Amino acid sequence: MPVRRPRAALIAGLLASTTAAGLLTAIPADAVVGPATKDGSYAFTAKLDIGGERSCSGALVESQWLLTAASCFADKPGSSDGPSGAPKLKTVATIGRTDLTRDGGSVVKVVDLVPSMGRDLIMAKLEYPVTGITPVELGSKTPLPGEDVFVSGYGRTKDEWVPDRLHYAKFSVDAVQNGTVNISGKANDAAVCEGDTGAPTFRDIGGRYELVGINTRSWQGGCFGHEDETRKGAVDTRVDNVAGWIQSVSSASVLPRADWKNAAYMTSGYFTDHSMTTKRRTDLFVAWKDGSASIFQGADHNLPQYPFSAEYKVAPAGSYWKDARAVAAGNFTGSGTDGITVRWANGKLSTYTHVDQNGFHDEKTLGAVGSYWKGARLIAVGRYTENSLRDDMFVVWDDDSTTLYSDLGTNGIGKQSQLEKGWAGAMQISSGEFNGDRTADLLVRWSDGSATLFSALSPTGYRDRTRIRPLDSAWKNVQNLTVGSFSGDSGAPFSDVLIRWAPGPLSYYPGVSTAGTTRPEVQLVG
């Protein structure tokens, strides 16, 4: 029983076996009987317009993915067998717009559907990632009877057929089964209405929101058009025990691309707002050979084979990035986010003090066009010196000498210290923490296939030099190398090493230390 134009609701019998008259079946969703939300609240809640025929609610679980009810897209009303692939009807999601009459948030087309087997859940992929909206976290705890939760949606209220604002209400968990959660309103007028199918049910943990379930069925007592119905309970599909499936779907489509052999330069850092969460998995910046550039957002989950959750195109093909000759990320302002230093083909050295999903900000020129920086063959940025307020930069020059620049700021390159020569065989360099002393160490991959860690780098040299890969190892086939936190093990004292191999595949070594690559390599692509 599709709902036209009004955002269709959390609809269906309270139980699968309940088909009594007066219950709507498999109707997409809109709003909750409860107060209107304040502007900007519960911005992860989405409104889905399905071909102008149905409306459902949903939850942003990753920047490019919504989770909603499969029954919203089912051909047969009441069915939870959602289709896969592109939606049959044009589907548009509005996210982060508390008041639908205003601008703000994002309006994005849904381009792909991935249904869950055996549950009324479906993942909806957006045409592009949304920015400025924090996805709801996936809860890992089993809901408990008596627990307080909230529901937010765009469906009917008790006196509005098509409300213009997102509404919410407080509910209590009544019963928990393997795949479902029964809830009922804490207030007498709290109810889930038509237009709320797919709406998120979540915990509020001091302003941090954890997804508990996705609304799928409701009695709709107290909703506009159902004044004679007294029952107000609703049924959600649980998400805590399928969190792995949700995470794998949202992440699996990010890395598998055929052109990784066309990655010219890679560097990792904390660029996106998503990477500023407590888990702080690093993002990856890639400059491609065609001059385009991408940021791969670090995923906020514990699936090691899926370290990234979204790709943001931050420069088109043919852009100035085709002229990059060395790239390194670091903290140049003393803040918690990173920027990128670039040595260009014309000899210019510049720093973007901040880089994010929207591009490159606040460029500072550290070396003019035609300057001696044209001879900088490799650069790496890290907190090598303990007392620096910002990161330092290590440079390998065309004459195979090396230099350390301490405290690389936005107004200059800091103190210069000449170090040793004889670096002709250095092919890639990157900095990370490999010995647990909380300052950056330097990783070097040599042309003979070996790899070396230089620890305690300072203006007077380095304290230790440890070979972690032998001569003629497989690392002679490394084409790009960068260091960061890709495994999601943010509490580990050692960095991970991400590698792009010569044929194109991507992989990383978790927790590399002066003991070497002791943990199994994680294959990502190819």
Predicted confidence (pLDDT) per residue in 97-113, tens digit: 888 778 888 999 999 99
Is the predicted pLDDT of residue 484 greater than 60, yes or no?
Answer: yes
pLDDT band at 449 (very low <50, low <70, confident <90, very high): very high
Stated as kind and residue range, the H or E segment containing 205 is: strand 200-205
Domains 30-246 and 263-517 alike in fold: no
Q: Which tokens is 236 given?
A: 């959600």
- Percent of the chain scoring above 90 in pLDDT: 52
The CATH fold assigned to 263-517 is: Neuraminidase (2.120.10)
Residue 416 has pLDDT above 80, yes or no: yes
pLDDT at residue number 14: 28
Largest CA distance in the chain: 86
The residue-averaged pLDDT of 493-514 equals 92
| Residue 224 pLDDT greater than 70, yes or no | no
Statement: residue 21 has pLDDT above 70: no
For tokens 């709320």, the residue is 196
* 83 confidence band (pLDDT: 50, 70, 90): confident
Q: Residue 407: pLDDT above 80?
A: no
Give the pair of three-digit tokens for residue 185.
């309103």
Residues 448-463 have a mean pLDDT of 90
Enter the pTM of the model.
Answer: 0.79
Residue 30: what pLDDT?
34
Q: Is the dihedral of CA 456, 266, 365, 276 positive or negative?
A: negative
Reported as half-sphere exposure (CB side, CA atoms, 13 A), residue 22 has a value of 15
Distance of CA 288 to the CA centre of its chain: 21
Say what the pLDDT of residue 163 is: 61
What backbone phi and psi angles, to 5 degrees, belong to 454? -105, 115
Tens of pLDDT along 151-171? 988 866 655 555 677 888 899
Report the pLDDT averaged over residues 459-468.
89
Q: Does the pLDDT value for residue 519 go beyond 60?
A: yes
In this predicted structure, what is the pLDDT of residue 431?
Answer: 95
431-443 tens-digit pLDDT: 999 988 878 899 9
- Is a pLDDT exceeding 60 seen at residue 23? no
pLDDT above 70: residue 366: yes
User: Does the pLDDT at position 26 exceed 50?
Assistant: no
- Percentage, residues of the chain above pLDDT 70: 84
Whether residue 328 contacts residue 379, with contact meaning beta carbons closer than 8 Å, is answered with yes
Query: How does residue 358 score in pLDDT terms, banded at 50, 70 and 90?
Result: confident
- Average of pLDDT values for 120-136? 92
CB 474 within 8 A of CB 449: yes
Tell whether the model's pLDDT for residue 43 goes beyond 80: yes
**CA 472 remoteness from chain centre:** 37
Q: What does the alpha-carbon distance between residue 123 and residue 390 come to, in Å, rounded to a whole number? A: 41
The pLDDT tens digits of the residues spanning 168-215 come to 889 999 999 999 999 988 877 777 777 688 999 999 999 899 999 999
Can you give the residue ranges of every domain in the chain?
Answer: 30-246, 263-517
pLDDT band per the 50, 70, 90 thresholds, residue 25:
very low
Report pLDDT for 254: 84
Q: Which residues contact 21 (CB under 8 A, 6 or more apart)?
A: none
Looking only at the bridges linking them, the beta strands covering 137-138 and 208-218 are parallel
Q: Is the pLDDT of residue 29 over 70?
A: no
pLDDT band at residue 426 using 50, 70 and 90 as cut-offs: very high
Give pLDDT, residue 16.
Answer: 23
Band of residue 283 on the pLDDT scale cut at 50, 70, 90: very high
Mean of the pLDDT values across residues 384-412?
Answer: 82
Among 186-200, 267-281, 315-329, 502-516, the range of highest mean pLDDT: 315-329
Contacts for 91 with CB less than 8 Å, ≥ 6 apart: 48, 49, 50, 51, 73, 109, 110, 124
- Mean pLDDT within 231-241: 88
pLDDT, position 158: 58
d(CA 106, CA 129) in angstroms, rounded, equals 10
Q: How confident is the model at residue 228 (pLDDT cuts 50, 70, 90)?
A: low
Q: Is the dihedral angle over the CA atoms 495, 500, 501, 506 positive or is it negative?
A: positive
Which of 2.40.10.120, 3.40.47.10, 2.40.50.100, 1.25.40.10 is the CATH number of 30-246?
2.40.10.120
| Block residue for tokens 């990173």 | 338
Q: Are 378 and 324 in contact (CB under 8 A)?
A: no
DSSP string, 419-440: -----TTEEEEEEE--SSSSS-
Average pLDDT over residues 369-393: 87
